[in-house]
């Protein structure tokens, strides 16, 4: 482009010089972006207002080099962070297709107009530089507010050894954790490429976090000790310097590569839980009017499984959707909540609750067919509303393919397989879920109790049920598991006590209407449990 007719695009408070491929802030300073991110931004800018496919963007930034969509996603995240596009209103995602740039203003500028802006005396320029530096420094010192969604960078782990032959594993751990974290929709994760620029950095963690535009940093080290590797990791909230979580792992050196992915997967799942817990606790401490759509979603979770709790959660989700109509996660969670209202007969209008659940799940998939949360919601409707075990299995498997780290879906898989009379597999999945998410919520015990019961582990089922019942005190479903377990053990006095408690809490309880929570695939198995419930005193 001729320098006399250079085209600038206004992206919020930031200008993009399309000709020189420069991103310039309000003070006239260049904003650093990786070459690939600048290339992606350049293509979007040259096609402003039009959708550009993922393939075209990847080709423009990487040429013939093969990369995955994750690399493009990180570039888009870099650009959005640089221009302050937290609401994704400038760089817009077009689901399943690509991205579109919608500038806030476009202004062709002549060379004389541009150049005259910088014709300042040296002393004045020096003053401006000092002011800019002071402003930048003050911004670094200013406590950052809660980001629109939790943000994290995994710094390169330190390899503590004179022997560098295993150093590749140390880098691999950091990169693998980043990859696994990136599969969670609710996190903003800085790419390893950016995070690795701080290898051996002398900067404070707070400074590094500010540079990368994140709140949380994961640091750690790997130390060979004889035939073992000692790995430590800690998560720091850089806004206050507190260590949110720390853990130590010991691995055999002979099996390093085999365990690397499992280890990083477990760490990633734990980090997601800890980060979301910290964020949701913050969200509950402020008024709803101050919350972004994402923070409203966090505040809605996890809802108590009762009428008031689920309705209150749905009110928050409705507000989130009003702020961000295309928020896939909010639609997915609302589908799950409405299904729970239907399953447990807690809605005023059961048919309407189920209709709403179906509509929300369909909307979530339409918005993003790569959302594991959407497939999770669909699978529950398939199982409980339609009793279509094959479709439920397909959708749950798809969700786990997208995010193999999600322990909640592992629990749902265990429950589904329990209803399909695949008890051994169900037990394997519940064990895997607990291993993946050792600090799991109480509802895991609820599902584990069911799996243990159908697998014939009646005494263990009773123990798990009582843990769940201590929290979900009015649950008829948990009490039915207890009735079945005690019935199988011949402990009918206990079984009848739990049946009486159900009828006291739910006077209109009938097996014919409430057994929607028990979609057994095998009619013989279903009949067996109905007989146990009848014998304990539950009416048809």
Q: What pLDDT is attached to residue 525?
A: 95
Closest by Cα among 492, 466, 488, 491 to 479: 466
Q: Which CATH class is domain 151-255?
A: alpha beta
What tens-digit pLDDT sequence spans the chain (540 residues)?
A: 333 334 678 888 888 887 777 888 776 777 888 778 888 998 998 888 889 988 888 887 777 666 667 678 878 888 988 888 877 889 988 877 889 998 875 443 333 333 333 333 333 333 333 334 333 333 333 334 434 567 889 999 998 888 776 677 788 788 878 877 877 766 778 888 888 889 988 899 999 999 888 889 999 888 888 778 788 888 898 988 888 878 887 777 666 655 666 666 677 777 777 777 677 766 666 566 556 787 788 788 888 888 999 999 999 999 999 988 988 989 999 999 999 999 988 899 999 999 999 999 999 999 988 889 999 999 999 999 999 999 999 999 999 988 887 889 999 999 999 999 999 999 999 998 887 777 688 999 999 999 999 999 999 999 999 999 999 999 999 999 999 999 999 999 999 999 999 999 999 999 987 777 689 999 999 999 999 999 999 998
pLDDT (0 to 100) of residue 256 = 61
Tokens read off for 466: 């009582």
Contact status, residue 92 vs residue 99, Cβ threshold 8 Å: yes
Q: What is the pLDDT of residue 404?
A: 82
pLDDT value of residue 14? 86
Note the pLDDT of residue 164. 74
10 Å Cβ neighbour count for 411?
Answer: 25
Provide the whole-model pTM: 0.62
For residue 209, what pLDDT is reported? 92
- Tokens found for residue 506: 């739910």
Widest Cα–Cα separation across the chain: 95
**240 Cβ partners below 8 Å, 6+ apart?**
none
CA dist., res. 534 & res. 275, Å (int)? 46
**Helix, strand, coil percentages in the chain from 3-state DSSP, rounded to 5:** 60, 15, 30
Report the CATH architecture of 436-540.
Answer: Alpha Horseshoe (1.25)
Q: Identify the pLDDT of residue 127.
A: 38
**CA 375, CA 219: separation in Å to the nearest integer?**
33
Q: Tokens 């299995």 identify what position?
A: 393
CATH of the domain spanning 5-140: 1.10.10.10
What is the predicted pLDDT for the residue at 288? Answer: 61
Are residues 360 and 331 in contact, defined by beta-carbon separation less than 8 angstroms?
Answer: yes
Domain ranges of the chain: 5-140, 151-255, 436-540
């Amino acid at each position: 482009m001729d320098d006399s007719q250079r085209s600038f695009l206004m992206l919020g408070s930031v200008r993009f010089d399309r000709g020189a491929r420069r991103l310039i802030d309000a003070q006239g300073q260049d904003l650093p972006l990786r070459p690939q991110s600048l290339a992606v931004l350049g293509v979007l800018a040259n096609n402003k207002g039009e959708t550009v496919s993922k393939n075209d963007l990847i080709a423009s930034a990487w040429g013939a080099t093969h990369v995955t969509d994750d690399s493009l996603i990180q570039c888009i995240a870099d650009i959005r962070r640089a221009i302050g596009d937290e609401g994704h209103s400038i760089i817009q995602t077009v689901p399943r297709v690509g991205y579109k740039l919608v500038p806030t203003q476009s202004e062709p500028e002549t060379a004389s107009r541009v150049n005259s802006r910088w014709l300042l005396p040296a002393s004045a320029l020096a003053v401006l530089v000092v002011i800019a530096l002071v402003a930048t420094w003050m911004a670094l010192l200013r406590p950052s507010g809660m980001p629109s969604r939790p943000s994290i960078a995994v710094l390169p782990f330190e390899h503590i050894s004179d022997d560098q032959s295993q150093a590749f594993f140390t880098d691999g751990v950091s990169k693998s954790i980043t990859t696994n974290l990136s599969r969670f929709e609710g996190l903003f994760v800085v790419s390893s490429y950016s995070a690795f620029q701080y290898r051996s950095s002398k900067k404070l963690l707070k400074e590094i976090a500010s540079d990368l535009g994140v709140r949380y940093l994961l640091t750690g080290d790997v130390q060979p000790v004889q035939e073992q590797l000692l790995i430590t990791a800690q998560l720091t909230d850089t806004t206050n310097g507190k260590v949110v979580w720390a853990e130590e792992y010991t691995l055999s050196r002979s099996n390093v590569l085999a365990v690397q992915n499992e280890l990083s997967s477990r760490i990633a799942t734990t980090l997601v839980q800890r980060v979301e817990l910290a964020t949701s606790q913050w969200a509950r401490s402020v008024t709803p009017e101050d919350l972004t759509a994402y923070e409203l979603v966090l505040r809605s979770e996890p809802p108590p499984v009762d009428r008031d709790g689920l309705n209150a959660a749905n009110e928050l989700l409705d507000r989130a959707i009003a702020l961000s109509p295309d928020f896939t996660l909010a639609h997915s969670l609302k589908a799950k909540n409405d299904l729970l209202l239907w399953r447990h007969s807690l809605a005023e209008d059961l048919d309407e609750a189920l209709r709403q659940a179906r509509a929300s799940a369909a909307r979530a998939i339409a918005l993003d067919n790569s959302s594991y949360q959407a497939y999770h919601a669909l699978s529950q409707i398939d199982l409980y509303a339609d009793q279509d075990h094959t479709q439920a299995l397909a959708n749950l498997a798809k969700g786990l393919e997208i995010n193999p780290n999600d322990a909640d879906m592992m629990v749902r898989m265990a429950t589904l397989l329990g209803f399909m009379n695949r008890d051994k597999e169900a037990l394997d999945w519940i064990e895997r879920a607990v291993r993946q998410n050792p600090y799991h919520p109480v509802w895991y015990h609820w599902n584990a109790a069911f799996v243990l019961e159908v697998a014939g582990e009646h005494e263990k089922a009773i123990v798990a049920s009582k843990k769940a019942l201590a929290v979900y005190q009015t649950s008829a479903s948990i009490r039915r598991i207890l009735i079945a377990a005690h019935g199988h053990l011949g402990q009918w006095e206990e079984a009848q006590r739990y049946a009486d408690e159900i009828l006291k809490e739910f006077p209109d309880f009938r097996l014919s209407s409430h057994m929607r929570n028990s979609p057994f695939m095998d009619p013989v198995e279903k009949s067996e449990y109905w007989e146990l419930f009848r014998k304990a005193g539950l009416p048809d």
